[in-house]
Amino acid sequence: MPHPNAELVAGFDPAHLSPAFYVDPYPTYHALRQLAPVHRCPDGSVFLTRHADLHRVYRDPRLFSSAKERQFRPVFGTSPLYEHHTTSLVFNDPPLHTQVRQAVGDALAPRAIAAMEPGLRELVNGLLDTLAAKQHFDCIEEFASVVPVEVIGNLLRIPRTERAPLRGWSNAILGALEFGLGSAGLTAGNRAVEAFVDYLKGLIAERRRHLSTEPDDILSRLIQWERNGARLSEHQLYHQCIFLLNAGHETTTNLIGNSVFALLNFPEQLAHLLANPALMSNAVEEFLRYESPVQLGNRTTTDAIELGGVTLRAGTTLTLCIGAANRDPAVFEDPDRLNVARDATGHLAFGSGIHTCAGLHVAKLEARIAISALFARFPRLRLNGEPRRAARARFRGFEFFPLSTHR
Ligand code: HEM
């Protein structure tokens, strides 16, 4: 008898996804993992869904390159988007990657991040005061997105009055990484890179005029970073800053939004968490596993290899499906169930290996504080209408998520 979801696999093409997929991609991911874990897509790329395969790929950056020139040139041509995405550290291999990673690494280390905690609590409490007065609100627009915009804005010391366009730019630039990008998305992404670079030229010039010898923001650190005579060029500076701002925005917004939604869908888990607040750090790992904000990543093979019995030629584009790996029953028991007490160690929500998310401590701190404060203030929080998922496969989150603070 054929697998009940065999038809989801036969024609699976990430460039043509259905509205039902965006609502719930997991039945497709389970079917792929069972029937075609190394799935050949119509464009010749390969889609991986097993945890063990992703882990192997992440751990071998020599054989599985992060550089994207070959993939991006046909889509972006010679454009600001091409320049941006091929410069940012996440899409580069050593030695450039190693240099830039050192430059941002210190500023995002746990000790630097822990100092942010009091300010973050104050910010979240202020937001909750406003929401308490309103009673009905959009969890994304009025809560989840506000926290990361402020945090990353503070990390780069972007003046508060200049932060308004950041989220729109970030969405347009990251949106251009989705499959099946149309001309409107391409234009919006290119305009956003141009506007962002223009803005950063002024900001960086101003920062250079007032450089401190003990900088407390990432931008000053990047400007002053020097190792064995190497420094970041002006071009590097713009694009690493844009990348950092983008990496810190949408992902964390979605982590907070997805977590709130998951808890409302599993009321017994919410009750358990409210009764055991010390579980919050553990719960955040489970939210990351259960509804990973970054669902897809990519690598390119640099040599011929065999993966899961399939031989892949050098130059094959791989899509690493984090969303599927984090629900792999070979690693996580009963994977479609949210369980805030589960040991979710080993989830791949932040990737793994040399490109492991440099901002993971910030992201987890933001989520822990935002989610605990929200439910502590509004224990009777509930849905107030139909939430709407963004039609994106790479970054999973909501466009609109209406909540009410009372029953
Ligand atoms: C829940 C929130 C977040 C998630 C799920 C997430 C996820 C990821 C993933 C999966 C990667 C690896 C990509 C790859 O190897 O292909 C990554 C890389 C990265 N992330 Fe995050 N991220 C989050 C938040 C942040 C924040 C808040 C920042 C900065 C403040 C940040 C900065 C970075 C940087 C700099 C890299 C590139 C690291 C490298 O290439 O060495 N991320 N992130």
Question: What SS3 class is residue 333?
Answer: coil
Instruction: Please determine, for residue 274, whether its predicted confidence score (pLDDT) is greater than 80.
Output: yes
Q: What angle (nearest 5°) sits at the alpha carbon of residue 329, between those of residues 326 and 330?
A: 100
Residue 407 is predicted with a pLDDT of: 61
Where are the extended beta strands (E) located within 280-352? Answer: 296-301, 305-307, 310-312, 317-321
* Cα→Cα distances 217→22, 157, 196, 208, Å: 37, 6, 19, 13
The residue among 200, 209, 202 whose CA lies nearest residue 238 is: 200
pLDDT given for residue 81 in this prediction: 95
DSSP assignment of 2-14 equals --TTHHHHHT--T
CA-nearest residue, atom 7 of ligand 1: 350
Q: How confident is the model at residue 372 (pLDDT cuts 50, 70, 90)?
A: very high
Residue 171 — very low, low, confident or very high, per pLDDT cuts 50/70/90?
A: confident
Q: Which of 25, 31, 45 is nearest to 307 (CA)?
A: 45
CA distance 327 to 315: 28
Q: Is there an atom of ligand 1 within 6 Å of 257 CB?
A: no
Residues 75, 69: Cα–Cα separation, whole Å: 10
| pLDDT higher than threshold 80 for residue 399 | yes
**Among protein residues, the one whose CA lies closest to atom 19 of ligand 1:** 357
Question: Could you tell me if 141 and 164 are in contact, meaning their C-beta atoms sit under 8 angstroms apart?
Answer: no
**89 Cβ inside 6 Å of ligand 1:** yes
For ligand 1, is residue 252 a contact (CB within 6 Å)?
yes
* Cα(210)–Cα(220) distance, integer angstroms: 9
Q: Which has more pLDDT, 241 or 110?
A: 241
Confidence of residue 256 (pLDDT cuts 50, 70, 90): very high
8 A C-beta contact, residue 44 and residue 209: no
Q: How far is the CA of 350 from the centre of ligand 1 (A)?
A: 6
- Pair of tokens at residue 359: 């901002």
Cis check: omega of the bond before 94, within 30 degrees of 0: no
358 lines ligand 1 (CB under 6 A): yes
What is the pLDDT at residue 228?
Answer: 80
**What's the 355 CA to ligand 1 centre distance in angstroms?**
8
What domains, with CATH codes, occur in the chain?
6-404 (1.10.630.10)
| 56-81: average pLDDT | 94
Kindly state if the Cβ of 107 falls inside 6 Å of ligand 1: no
Calpha distance 5→122 (Å, rounded): 48
* Higher pLDDT, residue 202 or 211: 202
pLDDT confidence band for 1 (50 / 70 / 90): low
- Classified as helix, coil or strand, 106 is helix
Mean of the pLDDT values across residues 377-397? 95
Ligand 1 nearest-atom number relative to CA 299: 16
Q: What is the pLDDT of residues 139-166, one digit of tens each?
A: 999 999 999 998 988 888 999 999 989 8
Distance of CA 199 to the CA centre of its chain: 23
- CA of 293 from ligand 1 middle (Å) equals 10
Is the pLDDT confidence value at 2 over 80? no
Beta carbons of 23 and 293 less than 8 angstroms apart: no
Is residue 218 within 8 Å of residue 118, measured between CB atoms? Answer: no
Taking the centre of ligand 1 as the mean of its atom positions, its distance from the CA of residue 244, in whole angstroms, is 9
Give the C-alpha separation, 357 to 66, whole Å: 14
For residues 65 and 55, give the distance between their C-alpha atoms in angstroms, rounded to a whole number: 14
pLDDT for res 260: 98
Structure tokens at 143: 């809560």
Minimum-distance ligand 1 atom for the alpha carbon of 254: 1
Residue 30 and residue 321 in contact, taking contact as beta carbons nearer than 8 Å:
no
Q: Which candidate, 206, 183, 209, 199, places its Cα nearest to that of 238?
A: 199
Contact call for residues 18 and 8 (beta carbons, < 8 A): no
Task: Give me the percent of the chain exceeding a pLDDT of 70.
Answer: 99
Ligand 1: nearest atom to the Cα of 352: 15
- From 357, 368, 371, the mutation candidate for ligand 1 (largest count of ligand atoms within 8 A of CB) is 357
Q: Whose CA is nearest to atom 34 of ligand 1?
A: 358
pLDDT at 391 over 80: yes
